[in-house]
Amino acid sequence: MTNRRTVVVQGVKQIEDIPGIERIGDAVDWRLSNSTRQLKRALPDAEILLSWDLKADGLRETWHRAERLRWIHWAGAGVDAALFPELVTSDVVLTNSKGVFDRAMAEYVLGLIIAFAKHLPETLALQSQRSWKYRMTERIENRRVLVVGAGSIGREIARLLRAAGLQVLGVGTRAREDDADFGRIYAISALADLLPQVHYVVVVTPLTDATRGLFGAPEFRAMKSSARFINVGRGEVVDEAALVDALCKEEIAGAALDVFRTEPLPADSPLWSMPQVIVSPHMSGDFKECFQALSDLFVENFRRYRAGEPLLNVVDKSLGYIPGKPTTANDTGPIR
């Protein structure tokens, strides 16, 4: 219990940049890495890797030097950036930060739905022009929302939207009846049948082989012409060219996008200037206290690691997410 652990931290210039990390005390020899060269030097002695910036820069290139690595903790929910084959097939345990971002993302999605229904982007545009243009808006009560992704974030979105009076359907990897949050979860194979029935589609699924390119031209054509598409999951889930085409052809009424295939979104992307599109810079889950919450989770998992207790949020690397029945953010049970 007194042995010091060597921990490499990716993405900070000084360890004090992580709030509250000092609670770990003198149990750690910290090694900081902000480049592939620094990671190459630090990895051979490392037992633990804390990826704070979520880019995994240089990790695959230097993986052969991870001779003592036993555990990687990812300071984010989606771990797709880390799932290269050598890591997936290794014995290194991967944990993520499930639960930290759920409520913030649910609030963000509710805000986007309200913004669309109440024409807030148009109102702000008219205000900037000093233009007084009276308009009727929509109600959200009893509107149907399809949440694609039935993990902890999708469930928090479902709970909040239902509390606001919306009807919520869920899509997951497999169908389930009598679900506590969705009522019923449909298998991903039912997507084409569900899309024509809903007014909003919310994508929050992790990026896996099964979800890459999930939304393309056929899916957008299947949606109502009055429907809005919201993506707070991963950009690679969507064929952006097909989305732009669907918006231009008015096959759907609008889109709110927080994630993109290329980030930052290139300046020449047509999405920037489309009046029916809301663009945000991958911020839907971030809130002012999130770094403290991320630190709290790592500190607790480090305590568990030293004590030989089960770690929180262990990812099934072959799936790319935490399988099993979702529970609460602070529960030790796995979620999908």
What positions carry a catalytic annotation? 234, 263, 282
CA distance 103 to 290: 11
CA distance 161 to 205: 17
Rounded to whole angstroms, what are the CA distances from 87 to 12, 74, 97, 140? 22, 13, 18, 44
Place of tokens 């750690």: 28
Evaluate the omega torsion of the peptide bond into residue 264 and state whether it is cis, within 30 degrees of 0.
Answer: yes
Coil vs helix vs strand at 278: strand
Place of tokens 């957008």: 220
Residue 15 structure tokens: 């360890």
Residue 68 structure tokens: 């003592």
Side-chain-facing half-sphere of 138: CA atoms under 13 Å: 16
Could you say which DSSP state residue 316 is in?
Answer: B
CA distance 210 to 191: 13
Residue 265 structure tokens: 């979104």
For CA atoms 8, 12, 18, 22, the dihedral sign is: positive
